């Protein structure tokens, strides 16, 4: 196991402020007198503010300083409290959210409406969004998902999965949900949507649930969707799940869940989506930070909607259980034209992974990875073709996926155990893989750490560590130096 650290490495620009704070705090608090005085002032002031503002917003205001005015981004803006909501963390505010959404749905012809969520802890059961809506979370605003599953409506299985991901039949819906929408924005001054997933993870482990857990935010069959300047945390299941959507932007979003024992808390799962940008995000969760998908085996093949034109850049991610950026394993509708650039993966099990299996069908192609940094990662680049999880026995084992046209340029880092493990097979060979400008610092200086099987492709210029024999060698000018005669050589060692 790797060393546990709470702060990202200093190389992460996004988090350098946090580090600064960490360095300054201990010195400041070292004097007991200072601490005592601070506590006194805190207690006094919070009582004072509590009285002035009985809805509980006082706490948030006190802890976070004066409330930043919320910008008006739509012709009409509502305050959640106008609909009777109480931000005390106890009152269930589902009806207030529903009334607000209903009011906004009547404004669609006039540019839509904005719902401001003020500081406070706004407990709610799942509710639906509407088109032409902006949900604005103030600094200190937290939307809390109710933990009792009785409040979570069941929905039909996703057509491209044919199955709730964990149980047959219907599945729980998401805390914040939308179907057939246009022009939806979820933004704010870094307010939070908190799924309070702890009870769900526990019940899942104890096998007390009869249905697949719900995502935190799920938007289906929609377009022109924007998520920015917010924090999403502790989702019961996948955190942000855009399903069969077009034109989705996710920018400057923080996604958090415990790195262990928060099962399936993927950060973002673009699923049969087209034209997506994910940028400037920090993601540290209990499963894949991002997993691009497009349906599962025979159901995904029948649904036939690929994920395509996806740009992922300027991210800092962490995954101790799975990988930073994954494609698959459900990719039966196909995945193509994905670019991942300027990515830092730190203290993780795997950095980038493509996973699939016979039965999936579909394809993964035109995938470009550029400027990736691995910092203390066990396995850097992984392609796995025997990820044998199937919805039921109805899959076609002859439906083999096609993998190819994958390039890796500018791969650097340190503390990596196995930099590359591309495990193609006779049925699913990996074609046309390119490595260029790669030099990765290793944990152990062993041979066979650039592991390959059934891979065809090339290395251009010098690559460290020494690449596998399966790949052709080219010089920096792109001239063939040596053609490989052993593309199907198998040198894979999972023990290492």
Ligand X SMILES: *[C@@H]1O[C@H](CO)[C@@H](O)[C@H](O)[C@H]1NC(C)=O
Catalytic residues: 287
Tell me whether strands 480-482 and 472-474 are parallel, antiparallel or unpaired: antiparallel
Smallest gap from residue 432 Cβ to ligand X (A): 4
Q: Are 475 and 461 in contact (CB under 8 A)?
A: yes
Question: DSSP label at 70?
Answer: P
Least CB distance from residue 280 to ligand X, whole Å?
Answer: 6
Residue 295's nearest CA partner among 310, 312, 273 is 273
Q: Which of 109, 116, 111, 54 is nearest to 82 (CA)?
A: 116
**Gap between the Cα atoms of 25 and 184, Å rounded:** 39
Burial label, 34 (beta-carbon count in 10 A; 0-12, 13-18, 19+): exposed
Q: Which residues bind ligand X (CB under 6 A)?
A: 57, 70, 79, 81, 116, 118, 126-128, 149, 153, 177, 179, 183, 187, 189-190, 208-210, 224, 226, 228-229, 231, 247, 252, 254, 280, 309, 311, 337, 339, 342, 344, 371, 373, 405, 407, 426, 429, 432, 434, 454, 487-488
Can you tell me the distance from the alpha carbon of 91 to that of 168, in angstroms, rounded to the nearest whole number?
Answer: 33
d(CA 491, CA 496): 12
Tokens at 223, concatenated:
């377009």
Please name the helix (run of DSSP H) or strand (run of DSSP E) that holds residue 348, with its range, or none: strand 335-355
Report how far residue 486's alpha carbon sits from residue 24's, in angstroms, rounded to the nearest whole number.
Answer: 57
Tokens describing residue 59: 């706490």
Q: How far is the CB of 202 from ligand X (least distance, A)?
A: 12
**Of 194, 308, 313, 328, residue with least CA distance to 262:** 194
To ligand X, the closest distance from the beta carbon of 176 in angstroms equals 10
Alpha-carbon gap, residue 340 to 338, rounded angstroms: 7
Determine the Cα–Cα distance for residues 281 and 175; give it in Å rounded to an integer: 21
C-beta of 426: minimal distance to ligand X in Å? Answer: 4
Helix (H, G, I), strand (E, B) or coil at 417: coil
Q: Which two tokens stand for residue 270?
A: 């673009």
d(CA 332, CA 233): 29
- Residue 14, helix vs strand vs coil: helix
CB of 109 to ligand X, least distance (A): 17
Q: How far is the CB of 446 from ligand X (least distance, A)?
A: 26
What sign results for the dihedral spanned by CA atoms 296, 297, 303, 306?
positive
Give the residue with the Cβ less far from ligand X, 53 or 462.
53
């Amino acid at each position: 196991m790797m060393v546990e650290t709470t702060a990202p490495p200093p190389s992460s620009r996004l988090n350098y402020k946090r580090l600064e704070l960490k360095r300054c705090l201990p010195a400041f608090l070292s004097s007991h007198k200072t601490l005592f005085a601070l506590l006194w002032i805190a207690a006094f002031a919070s009582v004072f503010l509590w009285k002035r503002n009985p809805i509980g917003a006082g706490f948030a205001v006190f802890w976070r300083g004066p409330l930043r005015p919320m910008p008006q981004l739509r012709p009409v803006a509502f305050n959640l409290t106008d609909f009777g909501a109480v931000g005390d963390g106890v009152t269930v505010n589902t009806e207030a959210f529903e009334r607000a959404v209903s009011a906004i749905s009547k404004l669609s012809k006039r540019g839509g409406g904005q719902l401001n969520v003020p500081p406070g802890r706004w407990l709610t059961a799942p509710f639906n969004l509407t088109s032409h809506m902006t949900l604005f979370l103030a600094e200190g605003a937290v939307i809390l998902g109710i933990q009792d599953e009785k409040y979570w409506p069941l929905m039909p299985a996703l057509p491209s999965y044919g199955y709730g991901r964990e149980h047959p039949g219907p599945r729980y819906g998401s805390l914040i949900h939308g179907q057939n929408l246009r022009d939806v924005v979820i933004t704010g001054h870094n307010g939070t949507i908190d799924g309070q997933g702890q009870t769900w993870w526990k019940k899942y482990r104890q096998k007390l649930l009869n249905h697949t857990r719900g995502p935190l935010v799920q938007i289906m069959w929609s377009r022109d969707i924007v998520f920015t300047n917010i924090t999403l945390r502790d989702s019961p299941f996948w955190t942000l799940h855009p399903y069969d959507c077009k034109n989705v932007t996710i920018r400057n979003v923080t996604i958090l869940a415990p790195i262990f024992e928060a099962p399936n808390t993927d950060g973002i799962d673009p699923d049969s989506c087209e034209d997506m940008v994910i940028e400037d995000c920090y993601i540290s969760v209990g499963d894949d930070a991002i997993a691009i998908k497009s349906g599962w085996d025979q159901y995904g093949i029948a649904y036939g909607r690929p994920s395509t034109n996806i740009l992922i850049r300027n991210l800092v991610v962490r995954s101790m259980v799975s990988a930073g950026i994954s494609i698959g394993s459900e990719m039966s509708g196909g995945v193509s034209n994905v670019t991942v650039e300027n990515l830092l993966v730190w203290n993780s099990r795997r950095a980038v992974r493509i996973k699939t299996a016979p039965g999936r069908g579909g394809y993964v192609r035109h995938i470009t990875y550029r400027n990736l940094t691995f910092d203390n990662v066990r396995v850097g680049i992984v392609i796995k073709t025997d990820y044998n999880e199937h919805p039921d026995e109805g899959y076609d084992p002859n439906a083999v996926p096609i993998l190819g046209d994958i390039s890796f340029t500018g791969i650097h880092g340190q503390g990596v155990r196995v930099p590359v493990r591309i495990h193609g097979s006779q049925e699913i060979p990996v074609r046309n893989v390119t490595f260029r400008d790669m030099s990765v610092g290793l944990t152990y200086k062993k041979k066979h750490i650039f592991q390959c099987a059934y891979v065809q492709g090339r290395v251009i210029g010098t690559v460290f560590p020494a690449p596998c024999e399966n790949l052709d060698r080219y010089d920096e000018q792109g001239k063939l130096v040596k053609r490989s005669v052993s593309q199907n050589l198998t040198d894979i060692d999972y023990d290492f």
